Structure formats: C-alpha cells, structure tokens
Structure 1
Amino acid sequence: MSNINDKIRQIAKETEPELIHIRRELHQYPELGIDLPKTHEIISRELHKIPGLKIREHAAGGYGLIAELKGKKEHGKNVLLRADIDALPLEEKMESTYKSRHDGRMHACGHDGHATWLIGAAKILAQLTDEFGGCIRFAFQPGEEVGLGADTMIEEDKVLEDPKMDMAFAAHGWPSVESGKIGIVRRYAFGCVGDFKVRIIGKKGHASWPEQTIDPIAAANEIYQHIPAILTRTISGTEPKIMSVTYMQAGDVNVRNIIPQDCVFGGTMRAVKREVLEKMKTELEKEIKGICQVYGTSYQADIRIHGGSVKNAPELLNGVKKSVADVLGKENVYIIEEDNLGGENFAEYSCRVPAVYMFIGIKPEEKEAIPGLHSPEYQFDDTVLAGAAAAFANIAIHGCMGELKEN
C-alpha cells in the first residue's frame, strides 16, 4: 500500500493551497444552526468541481449536503465521512484578512476547517477510485452546535442507508493537540450531555423582616452546595462525570432591601455513560425536592438528557491509527487514554454503526497553548488541512477494503 500512501500525500500537497483558500472563504461567512445558505453555496461549488461525485443538496432540512463516490473494484465496504459546518454566535476578536464578515458570528469551533478537510478528502479519493471498492459517502452536517442536523440526516435523508454504511468517521480540530499530530481517544471521544434549569419559588418581602418571607436564594444555595455529594456519594468515583451550575439569578441589582420571589439557576451535566447521567438526573431531582420541602419553597425543574456519547469502536482503533500513521508518520498519531466529557451529536451516527472520532491538532509547535474552542480569540491552523484530508482519505480506502477491523 506504500504506493497508495505516496499518491495520497502527493495529491494532498498539491491541493493544499486550494484548501486554505476554501477554509478562509468559509471563515468569512459564518452561519448559525441549520440556516446556512452561503456555507451551502461554497461547499456545493467545490464539490461540483470534483469528478465522479454524486451530490445531494439541501439535506438535513435545507442546507446540508451529502456526496457519494463509488470505487471501481468489484467488492468493498461502505464508509461514511462526516463534517459539521455551522458556526457560533460570537464576535471575532482576532484580526486577519479573512475575518468574519458577519457581526456577532464566528467559526470559533473550527467547523470551517472540518468542512474543508472533508472536501480535501473527496478531492484525493476522486483520483484513487481504482484503489477501492464499495462506496464512500461525505456528509456535511448543519446544526451540530445546537444539537440538530444529525438525526434529520439519519432519519429523513437516510445517510446511513442505501447502501448501508458499515462504519463512520469524523474529527475535530483540537487546541491541546500539536499541529501535524492526531490523537484518538481509546474509549469515549465525547460524553453524554444533559442540562438543567431550576426555578425556586419563595415569598417576597422586606429584607429587614426575613421571618415574614421565604428565601429562594437560601434554598438554591443549599442545592448548589449539595451537588458535590450527588457526584461523590451516589455514583462510583471511577465514573467520569461533571455537574456544573453555570448561572444563578435572583432579585434586582438596584434593590438591596427586598428578598426576591424566586431564584433561577441552571447548568450542564456530563457523563460518558447514559445510565450514569440518568442517575445524576434522578439524584438532582431528589435533592431539589427535599431541600425545597425543608425551606418551604416550591420549585419548577426542567432536567434533560440529550442523546448519547461518542464511543470509539475498539475493533477499528488500531486500523485507524495505522492508516493515519501510513500517511502522516508513526510519530504523529497516538492514543489518548483519558475520556472526554465534551458533547457532539456524532453520537447519533456512532450508536448505529461502528465509528471513530479523532482529534486533529491545531496548536502550532512553537506555542505552549492557544485559545480554546468557543473562544472569540480562537484560531484555526491552516497547515493541518492537507494532512487531515490525507488521513481521512487513507482511512476511507482501508475501510472500504475491509482492512480496518480487528476480528
């Protein structure tokens, strides 16, 4: 396969200037959620330049795209490659010639890069159809940041069917991984995500006579103080999990002598296993109910769990690592032992077919650290685009040829 590896590297190198241009154009037109007309236009334009691609536009309810490339060998498996393509409601702080042209919107999670390296993989693979059989499908999914797009592509667009996909792959630009390297989490690339919003309802009154009031802030604070006990006393300490209160609001900042009627707080909770998150939800509900009874308050609680976790398929892990090493070098791919508790609705794919999600480094070697995801100072490293495209292309070829799975 060394000849194929050389071809992949060569094509990737030749397409690098074009990929950088595409990424920077996408960066200038960040769009939110599933309403991505300009993003769709740019991706569609680039896909139509690639010979042999069968393209389905306006997927995922409007602005997603699905492209398909068939290999020329007689037999092969079917592989899905997926990229998310939406942006975030942030004002970009970094100055560049390709800075966001949309006020209050920014590609602060690198989805412009994700879309671009998938286009790059398609460009490479279109020149190598003699090397594989089966089908490679490219899914450009909107709405990931708001938890949308994946279910629509799967349920309505049937992206995993006709022909049935045998495996799926995706990746994220990762600020803690060095540029030129790819990290692959051994178990959970992303966790299961939940959130909560709680309103504690007391009795409003003058702060000089607290005995005539029912203080919702005191009850909310007591619940907040009990959250560590939920995590450490009701669930095994070996289970990765987080519950964080991210806001608490009560009263009027201009009025200092009134105990307010209510206090609202909320936040996020994460675990790698859904059953652990379900337990956290149950225990939080019990704490809220019990503490409100003690304080004499009433409450309204909205506690939700969204989807599942992204667990990398163990039978694909070594094959994916080797495929990446073949084009980027053994020293540039490694296994990450620690589970990650971020959230990603690629879980909708990975719970249906064996899948692997990779972290592609975007931290320049000379920098100790760079701004993280969802930061207004986030910066993508364009030097990684060609390598990422090459890695995806080689994974897809090996996947189609049945050379990734360990029995």
Structure 2
Amino acid sequence: MKNEHSAGLSGRIQKRAAEIFAEVVALRRDIHLHPELSYEEVRTTALIADYLLGQGITPESPLLETGVVAMISGEHKSNKGKVVALRADIDALPLNEENQHGFCSLESGKMHACGHDMHTAMLLGAAKILSEMKDELEGDVLLVFQPAEEKAPGGAKPLLDAGLFKRFHPSVIIGQHCFPNVETGKVALCKGSFMAAADELYFTVTGQGGHASAPHKSADPVLAAAHIITAVQHLVSRVVPPHEPAVVSIASIHGGNAPNVIPRQVTMSGTMRTMNEDVRSLLQDKLRQTVEHVARGLGVEGEVEIRKGYPVLFNDLAVTEKAETICGEYLGTENVLASEPLMTAEDFAYYLQECPGSFWQIGTGTLQYEKGNTLHSPTFNPEERALEIGSGLLAYAAVRLLQSI
C-alpha cells in the first residue's frame, strides 16, 4: 500500500505527466519521422540538447560524437551527493517502415522499430518533470541519452570508457524498454539474470571445388556445412547443463551459384545466447572444436570467428526489489508483473557491471494481440499512452530512489 507521502507524490507526478503528454507525443513523433542509425544520431542529439536547454537543463560536454548527458542538480537540504542515473537509447534500425499511421519514417531503410524513439521521449518528459521538482530532489539525476544500442560494440561501453561513471558517480542506474507483449499500463521486472549475452558467429568452410557429377574428385564444403549445422545443435542439449538457458542458431548459409558446380567455400553466420559467463566460455571453446573436427573428418577445413557481443544483463536484486515497490506505488501493485528471463541482448548490461541498477519492461501492447506488432518488425506500433506512463514512472522512480539510497 502507498503511504500518504508517496501517494501524494505519485499523484502530483501523474497529473504533470498527463499535462505534458501531448508535448511528449510530439517529441516522439518528431524522432520517429527522422530515424538515425547507430553512431549517426546527429539530428536526434541536437533535438535532445535543444529540448533540455528549453527546460533549463544544460547538457554536459560531449563524451562521444552523438548522444547527450545532462545533470539535474537537486536542491533539497538533504542532498549529499547521491546520484540516480536514468538511461534512454536513441538509435534506429536499418529497415523500411510498413505502418500506415501519419508519422511514418521519412528516411528510406531506417525505422524506430525497437521503441528507442519512445524511450527518448519518455526520458525527455521525465527530465521536464524533474527539472520542475529540483527543490524536492534529495540528490542529483543523471540523464543519459545513449547512442548506438543496436550495433556492436554499442554505445554504453564507449560511454563508460570515456569516463561517464568516473565523472558522475551514479549510485543507481535505471532503464526501461518498450515491450508489446506487456499491456500498456503495466511493467514487468526480473531479478538477477534478465537478458542474455549475445555472440555473433561467422563460419568459413573451405574445400576443393569441382564438377557436381564427380563429387569424389572434390572436397565438398556444402556437405560439411550441413553436418556442422547439425553437429553444433548438440552443444545446447549435451554440453550445457539442463538448468542453464542457451541458444545456438545458424541463421544464414551462402555457397555456390550453379546447380552443377561444387563450390570451393561456404560461409555461414549465426548467434549464440547464454545467461551465464562460464557457460558462455564453455560453449565458445566447444563450438570451435566441433567445427574444426567435423570439417576435418569430411576432408575440408572449418573455422569459426566468434565476435563477443553484449554481456549478460544482471539486475541487482536489492535495487530491483526497490523498483518493484516503487512501480507498485506509482502504477498499483496489480500492474507490476514478474518477467521471465529473455534471450534478447542489451548493452545496458555494461552499466550494470559497474553500478547497481535495474532494467525493466514497460508495456506498450494491448489486450488483443496485434499480428506484426513485435520488436524489430516493420509494423511495430507501440501504444503512445505508454509515453505518459513511462515519463511519470521514470520521474517518480528517480525521486523515490534518491530518498532511499
């Protein structure tokens, strides 16, 4: 149950979030109309900086070429240098939008299909609310508008390497992500390992090309590639402990261009997802061995390049428990759900390696399932009412966390 203080605070923030809802929607649609890919978010960066300046918030000197970092300094007498960081990602995806609404992407081959336009607008709305409450803030709020979440190496690690946390010393960091499978008005949280480590896999199988009518005079990389695809599936079922989540998927294969020619080389690519760094290392070693041994047994050469991606996203247990309480105060406990771990990946994981925090799902879906309304889909279409909820929730969470850390 809410106590009298938190009920009054949440009510005031909910009222303000409703009052600025149209403004936040306009921001989101502007960003959606003009999507920019990872490391190219120049216009979006300028929009964010201009809006913050309009709220009396001065952006800090840039740490990267794109993205914005800014601080809202609390003025409450109990301010003792406490800092809560709020993060939003700002980049779009390389695909063509297929929605029919009136603010579809104007940029061919670019679309905000993962909700980063929503995340950015929500944090801008929260910044406006918090800037009006500076005299109540029992600490400072660090706003992190991060570039390049969608493309490795991402924007989080470069920001950290550039000194983000060494400069601003956050005590807690919070982030939220749109999810269409969660109903608008609800959030879902997961304690501990929430999102997977993601590694990209690039295979090369090299044999001896020749005429398809005389395969005995060749060393067939196509046949070997097929055996490798089958063989690597045993890694999850026979190498990984049954209680540990893991995925190995081969998603593309390319080789040859004629029906009567055995090619010299086949290339493949795929992904590996794990929820445990020890299992991750084990799978990487076993994958290399499997590819090399299967290929050698079939008279060809096989190798795999493993490009390590984002680490496991681990939500701090204590912070996530606080977040559950805070979300319940703001939304009602019936609207706070428990999320199962997901095999998707997020570079927010890097922040959580350096600072306790929590990353949750904010609902953007409806009761009725809408086909095609999924993340990374050209028809992803989040419910905009979530902008009001997300703006207010971020602001409320920042205030309440500053009171409790």
TM-score class, shorter = over 0.9
Instruction: Choose which of 136, 140, 147 in structure 2 pairs with 1:142.
Output: 147
1:75 shift after superposition: 2.9
Does the 8 A contact of 2:296 with 2:302 survive in 1?
no
* Contact in 2 for aligned 1:27/1:106 (Cα 8 Å): yes
Give the TM-score normalised by the residue count of structure 1: 0.94
Retained in 2: the 8 A contact 1:175–1:369? Answer: no
Distance 2:112 2:61 in 1: 22
Q: Is the 8 A contact 2:246 2:272 kept in 1?
A: yes
CA drift of 1:200 comes to 0.5
1:85 paired with 2:90, answer yes
Map of 1:364 onto structure 2: 366
Q: Indicate the SS of the match to 2:114.
A: coil
Q: Which residue of 2 aligns with 1:59?
A: 63
Q: CA deviation at 1:48?
A: 1.2
Select 1:322's aligned residue among 320, 325, 328. Answer: 325
TM-score, normalised to structure 2, is: 0.95
SS in 2 for 1:59: coil
Change (3 A) 1:212 1:64: same
- The structure richer in strand per residue is 1
Which one of 238, 245, 248 corresponds to residue 243 of structure 2? 238
Counterparts of 2:388 and 2:220, CA distance in 1: 59
Matched residue count: 397
Q: CA deviation at 1:389?
A: 1.1
Alpha-carbon displacement from aligned partner over 1:106-133 (angstroms, at most 9, x marks no partner): 0011100000000111111112222222
Q: Is the 8 A contact 1:8 1:327 kept in 2?
A: no
What is the CA distance between 1:371 and its match in structure 2?
A: 2.0
State the secondary structure of the residue aligned to 2:179: strand
Q: In the aligned structure 2, how far is the partner of 1:81 from the partner of 1:236?
A: 36
Q: Structure 1: where are the runs of 5+ without partners?
A: none
Partner residue, 2:354:
352
Q: Structure 2: which amino acid aligns with 1:371?
A: N
- Report Cα offsets for 1:138-193 as digits up to 9, x if no partner: 0001111002211221121x222334111101111001111111111222221111
Which residue pairs with 2:164 in the alignment?
A: 159
Partner of 1:260: 263
Deviations 1:304-339 (A, max 9, x none): 222311111101122111111212221111221x21
Q: How does 1:237-316 map to 2 (within 5 A)?
A: 237-252=242-257, 255-316=258-319
Quick one: structure 1 residues 31 and 65, their matched pair in 2 at CA, closer, same or farther if it must change by over 3 Å? Answer: same
Match of 2:179 in 1: 174
Provide the residue aligned with 2:334 in structure 1. Answer: 331
CA distance in 1, matches of 2:122, 2:250: 36
Verify the 8 A CA contact 2:202 2:268 in the aligned structure 1: yes
The amino acid across from 2:88 in the alignment is A
Task: Please give the alpha-carbon distance, in whole angstroms, between the structure 2 residues aligned to 1:38 and 1:364.
Answer: 31
Q: Name segments (4+ residues, structure 1) moved above 3 Å.
A: 366-370
- Corresponding letter in the other structure for 1:391: L
Residue aligning to 2:395? 393
The gaps in structure 2 that reach 5 residues or longer are: none
Cα pair distance change 1:176/1:369, threshold 3 Å: farther
Question: Offset of 1:343 from its aligned partner?
Answer: 0.8
> Match of 1:303, SS?
strand
Is 1:75 the counterpart of 2:79? The answer is: yes
Is residue 291–residue 303 contact of structure 2 (8 Å, CA) maintained in 1?
Answer: no
CA distance in 1, matches of 2:372, 2:290: 39
Structure 1 distance, partners of 2:58, 2:323, is: 26
* Alignment partners' CA distance in 1, 2:99 and 2:286: 43
Q: CA RMSD in A?
A: 1.4
Measure how far apart 1:25 and its partner are: 0.5
Q: Tell me the CA shift for residue 370 of structure 1.
A: 4.9
Q: CA deviation at 1:300?
A: 3.4
Q: Which is further off, 24-33 or 365-374?
A: 365-374
Aligned partners of 2:403 and 2:371: how far apart in 1?
A: 39
1:276 match: secondary structure: helix
Letter in 1 for 2:366: P
Out of 378, 381, 384, which is 1:379 matched to? Answer: 381
Matches within 5 A, 1:20-31: 20-31=25-36
355 and 369 in structure 1: CA distance in 2 versus 1, 3 angstrom threshold:
farther
Does the 8 A contact of 2:288 with 2:303 survive in 1? Answer: no
**1:245-280 CA-partner distances (Å, limit 9, x unpaired):** 00011110xx21111111111100001112211111
Per the alignment, in what secondary structure is the counterpart of residue 7 of structure 1? helix
Give me the whole-angstrom Cα distance separating, in 2, the residues matched to 1:383 and 1:59: 33
TM-superposition CA deviations, 1:184-231 (whole Å, max 9, x none): 122222111101111100111111111101010111111111122111
The offset of 1:369, in angstroms, is: 5.3
Write the letter of the residue equivalent to 1:5: S
- Which 10-residue stretch deviates more, 42-51 or 266-275? 42-51
Cα distance in 2 between the residues matched to 1:188 and 1:162: 27
Q: Partner of 1:322: helix, strand, or coil? A: helix
Instruction: Specify the code of the residue in structure 1 equivalent to 2:161.
Output: E
More displaced 10-residue stretch of structure 1: 363-372 or 205-214: 363-372
Say which of 29, 54, 58 aligns to 1:49: 54
Residues of 2 paired with 1:370 and 1:361: CA distance?
A: 16
Is residue 2:135 matched to residue 1:130?
A: yes
The answer to whether the 8 Å contact 1:184/1:358 transfers is: yes
Residue aligned with 1:146, SS: coil
CA deviation after TM superposition for structure 1 residue 293, in Å: 1.4
